[in-house]
Structure 1
């Protein structure tokens, strides 16, 4: 076998490199997909754990819900085995040895939490670990951070502004299992955290339940409907029957969501952690299948193309009595052996791909293919399977002929027809061209979104998001920094576009029977000019006009939704609010959604400070503001960001997908061209004498290149024709996820086809030109 490979070194190298590249990229994607699909599945009885989501006042669905929900579930619903609530804290100060540390992943939970979620405890008992309100649980990494190699159990940390002492009662291991419940520190919920609000429309806690065995999601959902009727409906004082209210836009809903669906399928407001994308998983899984298919097609193509070289070997062995079954086993073994050799290279290529991917995208697809020892076994099994799949057709193909055919030479003539090989070449380039088109469309869509007019200017707007900590000194602080030359404008507001705050209000005209719940922005008179929002009718708020305290500015969508007609200025809402202006529509949520109605109310107070900057020196200004902040609030860190960063975060995942598709598209094209190079080399070898005769008769190198490449060019044109409708359908389906879409255009298809033809021509040209430059005397001297 090794002797055979050494005699056909070029083809063996192409086979091994092509397979290794296919294996490496497919394995990287496979482990990424596996990680995405495995979220929260490691918890015991994960299929019986559900999160209860809320929806109310036509504002969409919320991942969190009211405090009172868990209490009612425990008291009135026997189908619930356990229930727990979580309050997530994005920032908490931890004091240890006269040092202060900021922790970003902290959960306040009750004593049922660890009885529902089976975290792997290194130390402590899950059943009792939070029975003491002064106890806490930390991750193993936190224990090392604060105590080094010393035992952490029983030791204490000082937590929060009130500097309360907590004793470590449990330590959870740092496993690599994925979960949307990302926390490093767990603290017990106390009465001051829970509060005494029984308001069903609050959304302050994340509520989870574990159902008893045999209780289905549908059963539980029915009981949630009864809860709404018995508890929520009487509190809302709706002026209609329950049936009418339940069907209205302002209805209240509770929805049971399986734990294992949350990461990939949940796109709710205020998720505990960023979710994944099922469409991305499908895209990556498809790319992995495409790439490994191209690599397998290469293997089959080159093996069958070289069949004539091994025909005599097979014929002689059959003549000497070797059974066909033994020959099939031999060829399958050779195929698996080649695949295992490719696997060794694949490990190295995979790690290189991950490094390149991180450098290009700034994100980690997976840490490494070696993070789990099970990965190595999976890779070996996957390589064996790939070798078997790749070797099945060649094994049966090479052993099917009769020895007499070899002796007469008829087999060699038959083997050069290559209709099956042509089909494989077409399939390879269908995949490659489809990936080129898809990559181009994704890039074009993202460019379109990045350049889309948002309805306001987000550039160079610094946002201090915890300005509320300044209290009544906020205006003094504002004046002390806005006198700087780099400051163009400033404003105080409670809510910003692409922010994580939610403000709502109910509005109705005198003609409307029911109020509508609309997104609301409370801001001062400088809000619109700071963001350069366009007033299309009416005027802005004025600090000099006391009546503006009841004034409202609507966006164009709100005007349409409220039915205010072409002249909304001066119209009354809620009998005591007056519309004083209309601004053009502006995006304040993800660009995947259409612009929703929005109302801007007037307030000279605000929890967030916006500062519009100009020119150079922005970094120096931020440093100056940070120093000034410390003068006002030395115990609190200033939290700030630039407004355009929030919209960039919304596109970050799509940008990662775009770059990933581009990287793997290049790999797919390279593997396809690698196979085409090997196949063209074989064809040219078969036509060496023909090329020699053509040269003797005066054919030019250009003419020889044309005769050699025309058949391959026809195959690629066929692939192009097939790829057009396929890629168009895929991209139309993908673009449907966006409210605002670019047009695909004919140019993308033409460019993709031209790129494929040019790359294929260059691949073939090297061997063709080399053959045309060979002295025909050397080729024909034996004739």
Structure 2
């Protein structure tokens, strides 16, 4: 019997080629999209779950409150957190503190010399918290004491090729380090990316720094003992910190509250953390959005099948009637039709798996992942694919099977056809068309909004000129030769200006307090600059003046503030802010530890961080030591300009190679998540529209065939092509309008919620929805117009000759 069912199923698929091709193509596209998105989602949720005991490992973070602002999450905490947690809380078995080096270090071994990034300074407990596989050496005491370094396999092979480097010396920034261990390839679903680990003791940080409740630079983890209650520990630790830190921080105008973040949640639930560059961060909002898209695409493909199967019911009505007359019961017919659906679904799944394998490499390149998918060699993916194919076939074919098997043989044999598209009883198919294109319209609107917001992030006026600005780190004693270096650089006609400092847009910034006498202490971003900072970056003054070399008191007494500082420090207007007193506690220096000065200028607000963060109080002041240099170039001949800068560097510093980057690269990196989301949304929206249009194309073909005699009579009576096209199209078009009206409120709510994550955002207006409706109508009309025009131009005699 099974063999007979199989033969019948194959015969029907071959007989109705058009139907089969449309369904197989739609299901293949939908299932392939689901596979790719599913692989991406599974990979995102797999981060850190390979670490033994990951359920008991937590990261400490703070929510900081200042000047009536909403709390902001910070991934870095004071150094005291780790020591206190391990010492004073018995439920904590150990703690781990780390610092992240955002700079590239110069590594040297023999004749091999190069800059390497992604270094982590960590305590010796790192390898007990995260027991990564070792190729050489031992984890015990690998990072205990100063000047110890653990290398990844990639770095070890580069600087110590074909040898075990343990015990050998690696020079980092002109200091000797002993290699204590080499890690095998670090799993890509580990939330930390690094090239080498340096022992934290190397820094020899002063005691007052390590006992500070203000200095918040450390990434800190705690490991709880088995059975310990994380919620209870969090509350106890919060009370502990509040009692010790708040008396110190609240007089400074802010306070923070500590929280725990479970290790397995760190990757997907840290997107809104500030100054949290160390972890590899995903975004649970985007992962959930992709999950919905996968469901939408598969649902549209399944709805297509249901629509087309019921629409062609008339073709199979007599077959069903004859089978019932010959003794087939309803159960056998249901089994037959479900078998056909499952067969078609399994064939589609097979094609989808091949398509997914072909598209996986481009997806990996786009997302920076190394996801593998081997459904034909590994049993688990194969089982998931086969099971998914059977489940999809059963879900998609359940209604058509029960619907078709319910025909009464006497009626259908007499020629009374079941309801088809365009009759009063086609409510199910019309409902499914509405649902299909509601989902498509929803995706279209979301894609438009995400693209507009992403474009806004990239193109918004940041308040300074970021184009054609070259950044490079000042190394060795180059700060002492700064004026001479500037003068030499400016000899190139393509170099407009140069400035040095600490705190360039998109790069590392200093957070510190500023004191307003009589009003208190306020948190502020501190930009340590030289005299040419504002002019080089094109920052505009709206009151007062810039720093001047002619004013000898500027280094010790002058402050420049931004518009937000005028408002948040209570100065009223930019003009009234000029001359207001400010004080700052110096980082170091001789004599008085307080810098006492006045505001000499107010600059227009500019975005030194991404548009995910709101501009806050910002203070510019002259500073004797400089960290980086920014060079504004004309852009006429970038290559020769860079070569000149490199030769100039070599004349001033032969110990360190020249390394540079462009300032706008910093900002482009900030919006990678949004760029990826917009691209993925576009791809899968096109896929959803394509699958939906396949269904419309098929339904239009069946509708035209069903009404062929009516159309022929209308043509003989004088109806033109436009009349026929309108007749066949208007019901579909009406359904698309209804679908769009259903989708619009949902899309507005979803995108409104998403946009709230951006302090600076575009508003949604009626134009977006009008464009989405127009686009949906055009796409739908394009899908059905071919069949409508084909029916309109057909010779009516061909359909009526046998009447």
**Structure-1-length-normalised TM-score:** 0.91
Deviates more, 1:413-422 or 1:480-489: 413-422
In the other structure, the counterpart of 1:250 is: 254
**2: CA distance, partners of 1:747 / 1:252:** 43
In the other structure, the counterpart of 1:50 is: 58
CA 1:36/1:209 → structure 2, altered by over 3 Å: closer, same or farther? same
In the TM superposition, what are the counterparts of 1:439-454 in structure 2 within 5 Å?
439-454=447-462
CA 1:579/1:262 → structure 2, altered by over 3 Å: closer, same or farther? same
Question: How many angstroms does 1:468 deviate by?
Answer: 6.7
Question: How many angstroms does 1:758 deviate by?
Answer: 1.7
Deviates more, 1:108-117 or 1:593-602: 108-117
Corresponding residue to 1:744 among 764, 773, 778: 764
In the other structure, the counterpart of 1:64 is: 76
**1: CA distance, partners of 2:580 / 2:194:** 49
CA 1:318/1:56 → structure 2, altered by over 3 Å: closer, same or farther? closer
In the other structure, the counterpart of 1:79 is: 91
1:262 aligns with 2:266: yes
1:142·1:184 contact (CA, 8 Å) conserved in 2?
yes
- Please list the CA deviations of residues 26-70 of structure 1 after superposition, one character each: whole Å capped at 9, or x if unmatched: 221121122222222221221211112246684954323344443
Corresponding residue to 1:395 among 392, 396, 401: 401
In the other structure, the counterpart of 1:492 is: 500
Deviates more, 1:754-763 or 1:251-260: 251-260
Corresponding residue to 2:473 among 465, 468, 476: 465
Question: How many angstroms does 1:590 deviate by?
Answer: 1.9
CA 1:308/1:366 → structure 2, altered by over 3 Å: closer, same or farther? farther
In the TM superposition, what are the counterparts of 1:371-410 in structure 2 within 5 Å?
373=378, 374-410=380-416
1:354·1:365 contact (CA, 8 Å) conserved in 2?
no
In the TM superposition, what are the counterparts of 1:300-319 in structure 2 within 5 Å?
300-319=306-325
Corresponding residue to 1:25 among 2, 15, 33: 33
CA 1:364/1:404 → structure 2, altered by over 3 Å: closer, same or farther? farther
**2: CA distance, partners of 1:615 / 1:142:** 35
CA 1:25/1:410 → structure 2, altered by over 3 Å: closer, same or farther? same
- Please list the CA deviations of residues 725-768 of structure 1 after superposition, one character each: whole Å capped at 9, or x if unmatched: 22222221121111122232222222221222122222212122
Question: How many angstroms does 1:580 deviate by?
Answer: 1.2
Secondary structure of the 1:585 match is: coil
Deviates more, 1:618-627 or 1:413-422: 413-422
1:675 aligns with 2:710: no
Deviates more, 1:119-128 or 1:576-585: 119-128
CA 1:389/1:649 → structure 2, altered by over 3 Å: closer, same or farther? same
Question: How many angstroms does 1:309 deviate by?
Answer: 2.0
1:214 aligns with 2:227: yes
Question: How many angstroms does 1:93 deviate by?
Answer: 4.3
1:401·1:411 contact (CA, 8 Å) conserved in 2?
no
Question: How many angstroms does 1:624 deviate by?
Answer: 1.5
Question: How many angstroms does 1:446 deviate by?
Answer: 2.5
2:61·2:258 contact (CA, 8 Å) conserved in 1?
yes
Secondary structure of the 2:192 match is: coil
CA 1:54/1:660 → structure 2, altered by over 3 Å: closer, same or farther? same
In the other structure, the counterpart of 2:526 is: 520
Deviates more, 1:323-332 or 1:302-311: 323-332
**1: CA distance, partners of 2:653 / 2:65:** 38
**2: CA distance, partners of 1:711 / 1:365:** 46
CA 1:10/1:458 → structure 2, altered by over 3 Å: closer, same or farther? same
Secondary structure of the 1:410 match is: coil
In the TM superposition, what are the counterparts of 1:81-160 in structure 2 within 5 Å?
81-90=93-102, 91-96=104-109, 98-121=111-134, 126=139, 137-142=150-155, 145=158, 152=164, 156=168, 158-160=170-172
2:304·2:692 contact (CA, 8 Å) conserved in 1?
yes
- Please list the CA deviations of residues 501-529 of structure 1 after superposition, one character each: whole Å capped at 9, or x if unmatched: 3242322132x1x3112112121221111
Corresponding residue to 1:350 among 334, 356, 359: 356
1:354·1:364 contact (CA, 8 Å) conserved in 2?
no
CA 1:599/1:221 → structure 2, altered by over 3 Å: closer, same or farther? same
In the TM superposition, what are the counterparts of 1:684-699 in structure 2 within 5 Å?
684-699=704-719
Secondary structure of the 2:210 match is: coil
Unaligned runs of 5+ in 1: 239-244
In the other structure, the counterpart of 1:241 is: none
1:553·1:582 contact (CA, 8 Å) conserved in 2?
yes
**1: CA distance, partners of 2:790 / 2:455:** 43
**2: CA distance, partners of 1:38 / 1:469:** 46
**Structure-2-length-normalised TM-score:** 0.89
- Please list the CA deviations of residues 635-660 of structure 1 after superposition, one character each: whole Å capped at 9, or x if unmatched: 32334222222222222321221122
2:57·2:221 contact (CA, 8 Å) conserved in 1?
yes
1:573 aligns with 2:582: yes
- Please list the CA deviations of residues 315-337 of structure 1 after superposition, one character each: whole Å capped at 9, or x if unmatched: 33333333322322232222222
**2: CA distance, partners of 1:702 / 1:523:** 71
In the TM superposition, what are the counterparts of 1:581-730 in structure 2 within 5 Å?
581-603=601-623, 605-730=625-750
1:509·1:562 contact (CA, 8 Å) conserved in 2?
no
Deviates more, 1:430-439 or 1:690-699: 690-699
**Root-mean-square deviation over aligned CA pairs:** 2.9
- Please list the CA deviations of residues 276-332 of structure 1 after superposition, one character each: whole Å capped at 9, or x if unmatched: 122211221111111111111111111111222222333333333333223222322
CA 1:734/1:499 → structure 2, altered by over 3 Å: closer, same or farther? same
1:92·1:102 contact (CA, 8 Å) conserved in 2?
yes
1:31·1:366 contact (CA, 8 Å) conserved in 2?
no
Question: How many angstroms does 1:612 deviate by?
Answer: 1.7
Corresponding residue to 2:549 among 543, 548, 555: 543
1:593·1:738 contact (CA, 8 Å) conserved in 2?
yes
1:298·1:672 contact (CA, 8 Å) conserved in 2?
yes
**1: CA distance, partners of 2:282 / 2:616:** 24
In the other structure, the counterpart of 2:344 is: 338
In the other structure, the counterpart of 2:3 is: none
Secondary structure of the 2:266 match is: helix
**2: CA distance, partners of 1:97 / 1:356:** 39
Corresponding residue to 2:571 among 549, 554, 564: 564
**1: CA distance, partners of 2:553 / 2:447:** 54
1:153·1:171 contact (CA, 8 Å) conserved in 2?
no
- Please list the CA deviations of residues 424-463 of structure 1 after superposition, one character each: whole Å capped at 9, or x if unmatched: 1111111112211221122222233333222222222222
Deviates more, 1:29-38 or 1:194-203: 194-203
Question: How many residue pairs align between the two structures?
Answer: 768
